[in-house]
Structure 1
Amino acid sequence: MSGDATGQGPIRIAVATDANMVDAALVVIGSALEHASRALEVHFLGYQLTAAQRDRVAAQCEASGARLVYHEITPDLFDGAEQRDSNISLVTLARMHLPRWVEGRIIYLDCDMLVLGDLADVQDADLAGQPLGAVRDFYVLDQMRAGKERPEKLAHHAALLGRADVAGYFNAGLLLLDCDAIRADADLCARMGDASEASRYKFMDQDFLNLLFDGRTAFLPQAWNSIWGRDAARAKTLAGLPWLPEAEKTPAASQLIHYTGPKKPWKKQPLAKALLRGRLQALLAWRRAAARILG
């Protein structure tokens, strides 16, 4: 990817978690560090963490030379919000406040991810003047490939965006935010902080972000938000989308694995079942990384 940024500054990443997902967040940070070609600046959005947990985060960053910026998340940030899905924590709404706290660009990462590539490629991506970079939602694309169109599966997305063409709907697990550009639009920045409105939607702030940035998003390669167990399907899907820019199809190899769904890799699950679902390789990759990073 060609960049519109200088490429001289640190790679800035942000993760958000409560006390239940600290280990997962540390794996995200640790795997990003393992592949980073430049210094890393970690913005850790912590909600009700213990002092010991905060110390673990600080120790990991100090040991690796990463700069840590800790943001204490308080309950008032979620005022008016309602958790509608037990699999989507309200803590995810904390990312909506990043433009108010950070200068320049920052990469937001969900905690159920494993970084396999150099995030400098994302940090320096050409956003073509747009305030947000994201990866088109693979599940949406999969319903759109030639000969396999399933518009009924996309009814929610069509209703949300108010049109049949939902190709621009993105997954919010990885976001490249140009915080300066977002902050320059006072209305956009204010609406992003409306937790009550964001929580009204089926997929909460992911849906809300798609509404806010509809037509204002630069799309990053699929490899930067690879749904686990879908490698073979991804190749077939992308081949069946001739309209999709080649830049979104390459590199072919996953640069980041996203462990979507309730069966996270840190949870007990039969390996035979993971093999049948095409998830075993990704499952073991996370567990090996966790063993290295968490000790």
Structure 2
Amino acid sequence: MSASERISIAVAADNNYAPYLSSLIQSILENTCKSDAIDFFVMSKDLTRRNQSFLRHQVEDASSTITFIDLTSMLDALKDIELTDWFTVEILFRLLLPDLLPNIDKILYLDSDMIVLGDVADLFHTDLGDNLTGACLDPDMAGNCAGYDPDRKAYLINEVGLSNPYDYFQSGMILMNLAQFRQDAPTSTLLHIASSRTWKYNDRDTLNKVAHGRVTFIHMKWNLLVDWGDEEIRSKTIFTMAPEYIFKEYKEALFLPASSIMRDFKNPGITPIWIGRTVSGDMPETVHCTSKYYCA
């Protein structure tokens, strides 16, 4: 199999997220055709050798590869970017990919707290043309823009610079055309924009500003937003306020999930997936069973 036929996947995680990363990797390996070779690239600043060994054995058992990229030396380049809310520096690592992987032209970035239920080969081979990204619409942002929090609509138009705020995409799953990024928006450009002001959603706002109008939209089943907490305010209220075409796609994704992010583990509801993170940061036992390397 040539390098061009291999599937390249990048993730970022700190050492605390190693069990969740293992769960993500296992879900990918179990749902991808065995004939497809996967090259994993793990970006971290503190992943221990012990955890690297666990992950390496997990991947090599499946005849794929894993490369660990220590980004400790890059932290100074990120220090001027003001992080908001609960975000940590790891969310910025995806902005480094165009320069970090100069010999790779396309990569699938996944947040480390995701579970994949579909064959990532189908996603990876999406034709991006000369677009910068392939990504999913954000029903939460769309519902807020449509009336739940109209200030977000003004923010996306006036600050992020989107002519259509409903085109705002999620960045937890993003297919990146690295060759095009290097040509039109290299890492230096991304970091300049990320540090130019205090963004509400650091990496997402940066990528949306850069890629607006050059996005191949992918069905929401590949980045299914699910509720967390007891109120379920997103699925019952905010998502329903999104434009009809966005809410329709979200409802389709509920029954055709291919990958998903954080939800309430006590109430999995109709979505047959769960993810390796709770709001408190506690590790639910469901995740322990996802990977044999972190099985309780």
- The TM-score by the shorter chain falls in which range? 0.7 to 0.9
Tell me how far 1:136 sits from its aligned partner: 1.1
Matched, 1:15 2:18: no
Output the CA distance in 1 between the equivalents of 2:92 and 2:243: 34
Question: Which stretch has the larger CA shift, 174-183 or 161-170?
Answer: 161-170
Tell me how far 1:281 sits from its aligned partner: 5.1
Alignment of 1:221-240 (within 5 A): 221-229=219-227, 237=240
Output the CA distance in 1 between the equivalents of 2:222 and 2:10: 16
Q: Which residue does 1:158 correspond to in 2?
A: 157
Structure 1 residues 51 and 162: CA distance shift in structure 2, 3 A:
closer
Query: 1:165-217: per-residue Cα shift (whole Å, max 9, x none)?
Result: 301111110110111111122x5442124486177311111111111111111
Tell me how far 1:130 sits from its aligned partner: 0.5
Kindly indicate whether the alpha-carbon contact (under 8 Å) linking 1:81 and 1:199 is maintained by their aligned counterparts in 2: no
Q: 1:218 aligns with which of 216, 220, 241?
A: 216
Output the CA distance in 2 between the equivalents of 1:292 and 1:282: 11
Structure 1 residues 153 and 211: CA distance shift in structure 2, 3 A:
closer
Output the CA distance in 2 between the equivalents of 1:163 and 1:106: 25
Question: Which stretch has the larger CA shift, 223-232 or 208-217?
Answer: 223-232
* Aligned AA (1:202): K
Kindly indicate whether the alpha-carbon contact (under 8 Å) linking 2:40 and 2:67 is maintained by their aligned counterparts in 1: yes
Query: 1:54-113: per-residue Cα shift (whole Å, max 9, x none)?
Result: 212212111222111221111434533355335211111111111112212110001121
Structure 1 residues 243 and 281: CA distance shift in structure 2, 3 A:
closer
SS at match of 1:64: coil
Output the CA distance in 1 between the equivalents of 2:3 and 2:148: 40
Q: Which residue does 1:47 correspond to in 2?
A: 45
Q: Which residue does 2:261 correspond to in 1?
A: 258
Q: 1:241 aligns with which of 241, 244, 252?
A: 244
Kindly indicate whether the alpha-carbon contact (under 8 Å) linking 1:78 and 1:196 is maintained by their aligned counterparts in 2: no
Matched, 1:101 2:97: no
Output the CA distance in 2 between the equivalents of 1:255 and 1:127: 19
Equivalenced residue count is 274
CA RMSD of aligned residues (A): 3.6
* Aligned AA (1:73): L
Kindly indicate whether the alpha-carbon contact (under 8 Å) linking 2:223 and 2:258 is maintained by their aligned counterparts in 1: yes
Matched, 1:70 2:73: no
Q: Which residue does 2:83 correspond to in 1?
A: 84
Q: 2:27 aligns with which of 17, 27, 31?
A: 31
* Aligned AA (1:118): D
Output the CA distance in 1 between the equivalents of 2:252 and 2:223: 12
Kindly indicate whether the alpha-carbon contact (under 8 Å) linking 1:13 and 1:41 is maintained by their aligned counterparts in 2: yes
Identity across matched positions, percent: 23
* Aligned AA (2:105): G
Q: Which residue does 2:281 correspond to in 1?
A: none
Kindly indicate whether the alpha-carbon contact (under 8 Å) linking 1:16 and 1:92 is maintained by their aligned counterparts in 2: yes
Tell me how far 1:139 sits from its aligned partner: 0.6
Q: Which residue does 1:125 correspond to in 2?
A: 126
Output the CA distance in 1 between the equivalents of 2:111 and 2:168: 17
Output the CA distance in 2 between the equivalents of 1:10 and 1:256: 20
Kindly indicate whether the alpha-carbon contact (under 8 Å) linking 1:108 and 1:175 is maintained by their aligned counterparts in 2: yes
SS at match of 1:81: coil
Query: 1:20-52: per-residue Cα shift (whole Å, max 9, x none)?
Result: 111111111111111112121101112112221
Unmatched segments (≥5 aa) in structure 2? 277-283
* Aligned AA (1:224): W
SS at match of 1:14: strand
Q: After the TM superposition, list the runs of 4 or more consecutive aligned residues in structure 1 that deviate by more than 6 angstroms.
A: 243-246
Kindly indicate whether the alpha-carbon contact (under 8 Å) linking 2:194 and 2:203 is maintained by their aligned counterparts in 1: no
Structure 1 residues 184 and 132: CA distance shift in structure 2, 3 A:
same
Tell me how far 1:115 sits from its aligned partner: 0.5
